[in-house]
Structure 1
Amino acid sequence: MTSVNGQPRLADRVQGGWLGRIAGNMLGKPVEQGEVWTRDRIDRYLRQAGALPLTDYLPEPVGDSDRLALRPEWRGCVRGRIDGSCRDDDVDYAVLGLHLLETHGFGFTTEQVGDLWLLRLPYLQTFTAERAAYRNLANGLKPPLTATYDNPYQEWIGALIRADIHGWTCPGAPGRAALLARRDAVLSHTGNGVYGAMWAAALISAAFTAPTVREAVEQALAVIPASSRLARIVRRVASLHDARLTWEETLATVSEETAGLGWIHTVPNAAVLTAGLLYGDGDFTRTITLTVRGGLDTDSNGATAGSVAGVFGGASAIPAQWTDPLRDTVRSAVFGFDGVRISELAERTLRLAGAPA
């Protein structure tokens, strides 16, 4: 039995968060390159394969041009070929975050986050702001200088993708989740990069108890500065949704308003993610497929959308086509965790979620 009075139990929600993150990541991974895989091209790909509306993992490419444009890992991420999860940094950081909390508890320091990176995470499996921070750590710099020295990626999406564990372990406590995520994020990010991590952690935390996804989005907005560019774009998407614009119209509008920031910047990706959540309205499949079809950093956005939707509805509400191919197995670059069971990660996370602050 997974629910009481129709509400998923905490264990089911935590399991849903892990499964949702991994499934959403796998869905978006083949088309993760925003300047190549635009919204129009993703939908054209799906239309040619007869896969619209999208209700499963991406189909195999129909033509050679699309096949060559996909990420090299696509063969392990498309429907019919998946046998356990593919390794990806969007999942590695969730695993590493779990290890952080198990090792140091909720009182961890930013310096301890950096120490675990050096001990457990291969340098070549880091990217953008995380790689800059890793290099700075190896050269002896300390936070917050690790985030600011020779790092042009300070407001990119990397810190946001590290935030899930803080939401999963702080169910219904978005403020606390945001503070933990901030302590992690400042190792490598500043400004909207840090706000993105705080917002995502709070959003996932709120999804445990909020009556609607929209309410979870509103609760998450409360933890970041109202005047920040991130808060403004999230409110903008919500207002367009309230005005009954279509999903396509909303994304076209915010795409114009965030032009020039690049496909890995936190702000435009938060717009795509918010649109997927609001127009998905709690339905797991619709949420992750709309989010990935939105383009930009597709695997990161799909992962976070899947985490929120997975927590909101619980693992029991995730259709089997998303979970069965994962074989309850995680591939990870984090030393000591490759091949770990998803169910084991969820159980370990649940123990932390029930631990005193």
Structure 2
Amino acid sequence: MTPVGNAPGLADRVLGGWLGRIAGNMLGKPVEEGDLWTRERIDRYLRRADALPLTDYLPEPAADHDGPPLRPEWRQCVRGRVHGSCRDDDIDYAILGLDLLETHGFGFSTEQVGDLWLLRLPYLQTFTAERAAYRNLANGLKPPLTATYDNPFQEWIGALIRADIHGWTSPGLPRRAAGLARRDAVLSHTGNGVYGAMWAAALVSAAFTAPTVRHAVDEALAVIPASSRLARTVRRVTSLHGTRLSWEDTLGTVARETAGLGWIHTVPNAAVLTAGLLYGDGDFTRTIALTVRGGLDTDSNGATAGSVAGVMTGAAAIPPQWTEPLRDTVRSAVFGFDGVRISELAERTLRLVGADVP
């Protein structure tokens, strides 16, 4: 794969990654409760609102809504009510990753990732493995013990959602992106949790130069152990897609095969994400819509799918119903970044492209 350097159009694609991540996150936020908002319940909600096919943010719940409760933030995330992005950890970590690279460069250490968390990120805005690692850091533990001590969430999706910045700053260099993501991920994760971060970073990186979504997925698979459960599950989705099985049947098959892992585990979420990308086939709206309709950790999966699709299409090609309501503004819990412009984040990201990794 050929690195793209500062090729024409790179700025538009980096901005596309940021916009896509934020829009996909916002789309999935109201139904982010995978044990309640199953794929069937999400589609029932959309059918009742006459919102299938899904081509915009989720509609408001009907007055007689009798399904599971939406997330408390839903009023800031449904169509007609989006006025800038609402705060979410999926975006906070992308911002924190940018601050990490600006502060310490590509030679950052895992210890420096932890130091930045303590400095910039409020404890109560961390969850699962990140909260366990944060607590361990505050108690004086050092990596890799921060990931393993009293942490039952080591293979959950948290490290994967932190990985996009390493793909955006290593366009067309998936192995480099994966190496950076691994150094970040081992602060809080092990095993498939770390592989998920490496895979996601490589997937975003590959999206800059891959001729098709399938090529990007294959490039990303090459950076993680082929025998890992994550790699086997992603290959399973690509195989089922290759047989022309329907999106619904593919997800049903893989859901049965990953049953018991839980709705925040990296492996089943990577399956939903892979299916959304492959069946979305490069179309931004279809990609994030299918990914969110796939259920589980809907806002995290929507964010990563939107990032990949946004990089592939570029910002200018993302339909305006997704980007205009964002008003080029991000809400963030990361100290010093609340209210920052999306365009500024993209410009700062672009300035890091081409820097050497020690």
The ranges of structure 1 where at least 4 consecutive aligned residues each deviate by more than 3 angstroms after the TM superposition are 63-68
State whether residues 45 and 66 of structure 1, in contact with CA within 8 Å, keep that contact through their aligned partners in structure 2. no
Q: Establish whether residue 329 from structure 1 lines up as the match of residue 329 from structure 2.
A: yes
Code of the aligned partner of 1:353: V
| Cα distance in structure 2, aligned partners of 1:136 and 1:90 | 21
How much has 1:62 moved relative to structure 2? 1.1
Secondary structure (helix, strand or coil) at the match of 1:171 reads coil
State whether residues 155 and 265 of structure 2, in contact with CA within 8 Å, keep that contact through their aligned partners in structure 1. yes
| Cα distance in structure 2, aligned partners of 1:345 and 1:311 | 15
State whether residues 8 and 314 of structure 1, in contact with CA within 8 Å, keep that contact through their aligned partners in structure 2. no
Structure 2 regions of 5+ residues with no counterpart?
A: 1-6
How much has 1:42 moved relative to structure 2? 0.2
How much has 1:195 moved relative to structure 2? 0.1
State whether residues 18 and 346 of structure 2, in contact with CA within 8 Å, keep that contact through their aligned partners in structure 1. yes
State whether residues 19 and 310 of structure 1, in contact with CA within 8 Å, keep that contact through their aligned partners in structure 2. yes
Aligned ranges 1:184-203 → 2 under 5 Å: 184-203=184-203
| TM-score, normalised with respect to structure 1 | 0.97
Code of the aligned partner of 2:142: K
How much has 1:356 moved relative to structure 2? 3.1
Q: Which residue of 1 aligns with 2:124?
A: 124
Code of the aligned partner of 1:329: T
Structure 1 regions of 5+ residues with no counterpart?
A: 1-6
Using a 3 Å threshold, how does the CA distance of structure 1 residues 150 and 264 change in structure 2: closer, same or farther?
same
Using a 3 Å threshold, how does the CA distance of structure 1 residues 144 and 330 change in structure 2: closer, same or farther?
same
CA RMSD, Structure 1 to Structure 2 (Å): 1.0
Secondary structure (helix, strand or coil) at the match of 2:90 reads helix
Using a 3 Å threshold, how does the CA distance of structure 1 residues 350 and 246 change in structure 2: closer, same or farther?
same
Secondary structure (helix, strand or coil) at the match of 2:53 reads coil
Write out per-residue CA displacement over residues 50-87 of structure 1, whole angstroms, 9 at most, x where no aligned residue.
00000000000114445761000000000000000000
Code of the aligned partner of 2:105: G
Q: Which residue of 1 aligns with 2:4?
A: none
Q: Which residue of 2 aligns with 1:93?
A: 93
| Cα distance in structure 1, aligned partners of 2:213 and 2:79 | 28
Q: Establish whether residue 247 from structure 1 lines up as the match of residue 247 from structure 2.
A: yes
Q: Which residue of 1 aligns with 2:20?
A: 20
| TM-score, normalised with respect to structure 2 | 0.97
Using a 3 Å threshold, how does the CA distance of structure 1 residues 64 and 122 change in structure 2: closer, same or farther?
farther
Q: Which residue of 2 aligns with 1:154?
A: 154
Size of the aligned set, in residue pairs, is 351
How much has 1:316 moved relative to structure 2? 1.0
Using a 3 Å threshold, how does the CA distance of structure 1 residues 8 and 282 change in structure 2: closer, same or farther?
farther
How much has 1:354 moved relative to structure 2? 3.1
State whether residues 84 and 325 of structure 2, in contact with CA within 8 Å, keep that contact through their aligned partners in structure 1. yes
| Cα distance in structure 1, aligned partners of 2:196 and 2:102 | 24
| Cα distance in structure 2, aligned partners of 1:208 and 1:351 | 16
Aligned ranges 1:188-227 → 2 under 5 Å: 188-227=188-227
| Cα distance in structure 2, aligned partners of 1:354 and 1:22 | 24
| Cα distance in structure 1, aligned partners of 2:66 and 2:187 | 37
State whether residues 61 and 67 of structure 1, in contact with CA within 8 Å, keep that contact through their aligned partners in structure 2. no
How much has 1:97 moved relative to structure 2? 0.1
Identity of aligned residues (%): 86
How much has 1:213 moved relative to structure 2? 0.6
How much has 1:355 moved relative to structure 2? 2.5
State whether residues 31 and 42 of structure 2, in contact with CA within 8 Å, keep that contact through their aligned partners in structure 1. yes
| Cα distance in structure 2, aligned partners of 1:271 and 1:52 | 22
Q: Which residue of 1 aligns with 2:3?
A: none
Q: Which residue of 2 aligns with 1:3?
A: none
Secondary structure (helix, strand or coil) at the match of 2:259 reads coil
State whether residues 8 and 313 of structure 1, in contact with CA within 8 Å, keep that contact through their aligned partners in structure 2. no
